[in-house]
Amino acid sequence: MDTTVQILDQRTPEERDREFLPGMNRSWLLPIYDLYSLLAGVRALHDRVAALAAVAPGESVLDVGCGTANLSLAVLRAQPAAITTGLDPDGSALRTAARKASRRRVPLTLVQGFADRLPVGDESVDHVVSALALHHMPEEDRIRFGHEAFRVLRPGGQVTIVDFADSDGHGKRGHGAGGHAAGGHGAGGHGARGHGARGQRGHGLPGQGHAGHDRSAAVGDPHTAPNPDGSLVHLLADAGFTDAREVERVEHRFGPLTFVQATRG
């Protein structure tokens, strides 16, 4: 098996000066990120996303906000023959990811870039996945991510996301081919991308970078946006996806989490 691991810088000149939010909010905390993630039980969330995505041999996967590649590695555990690429603006996190993939002798491409401009071609990817990243993105950025995910997926391709849910249990919604089904979405409803004035990422820990964080802190942070009342489902449907839906909801130590999927028709 080819076990090549590479890092590509796909940022534009303008993006090289763009700020982003590092994992655990502080770059110097990166060395303990994976230990914290392990102790916090985040691996099970990554494994669940990989299981829901159900990647087939030879299919291509883009992990948006990959951080240190925990979700990418979960995808490769579930399907060693997947063609997996992780995207994140944090070069230090990507270097950590590359070392992990090399130690495990798995093939992984890592791309430095931002989620509102996915540096891949139209209809070139079978799966887009993301774990605990989108809540750290301004609404307009998440909207761009939704449209970018739709653009890069092949017809029949699927997006699978886990992120924070609203706390009152009203986040479930369903959409048919662009239509709305039961449920609703609330304030802050759209979103897509992973950075903005402060940047984008998806590392997943509470109070930390882009993924698990303290929900109360996120609400007060102008660079984060919770996902109330099915907003992720709504933004994917508005981007053109069919059958956008919440497929699962779990209670985690970080708070309620929603697993959302949608298919490009």
Task: Report CA Rg, the chain.
Answer: 16
196-223 tens-digit pLDDT? 333 333 333 433 333 333 333 333 343 4
Residue 149 contacts residue 239 (beta carbons within 8 Å) = yes
Residue 213 contacts residue 225 (beta carbons within 8 Å) = no
Helix (H) or strand (E) segment spanning residue 63: strand 60-64
Domains of the chain plus CATH, in order, are 5-263 (3.40.50.150)
**Confidence band (pLDDT; 50, 70, 90) for 27?**
confident
| DSSP state string for 76-100 | HHH-TT-EEEEEES-HHHHHHHHHH
What is the length of the chain?
A: 265
Q: What is the pLDDT of residue 229?
A: 61
Residue 264 scores a pLDDT above 80: yes
d(CA 21, CA 203): 10
Q: What is the mean pLDDT of residues 65-74?
A: 96
> Is pLDDT larger for residue 52 or for residue 183?
52
Q: Are strands 242-252 and 255-263 parallel, antiparallel or unpaired?
A: antiparallel
d(CA 254, CA 256): 7
- Mapped onto helix, strand or coil, the DSSP state of residue 4 is coil
Q: What is the pLDDT of residue 180?
A: 27
Residue 101 contacts residue 69 (beta carbons within 8 Å) = yes
d(CA 129, CA 71): 8
Residue 193 scores a pLDDT above 70: no
Mean pLDDT of the chain, nearest integer: 80
Residue 85, judged by CB atoms within 10 A of its CB (0-12, 13-18, 19+), counts as buried
Residue (of 68, 130, 73, 74) closest to 107 by Cα position: 73
Residue 182 scores a pLDDT above 90: no
- Mapped onto helix, strand or coil, the DSSP state of residue 239 is coil
Q: What is the pLDDT of residue 214?
A: 35
3-state secondary structure 134-200: HHHCCHHHHHHHHHHHHHHEEEEEEEEEEEECCCCCCCCCEECCCCECCCCCCCCCCCECCCCCCCC
Q: What is the pLDDT of residue 262?
A: 98
Q: Which residues pair with 155 in a beta bridge?
A: none
228-238 tens-digit pLDDT? 567 899 999 99
| Percent of the chain clearing pLDDT 70 (strictly above) | 75
42-63 tens-digit pLDDT? 999 999 999 999 999 999 999 9
Q: What is the pLDDT of residue 169?
A: 41
Residue 159 scores a pLDDT above 70: yes
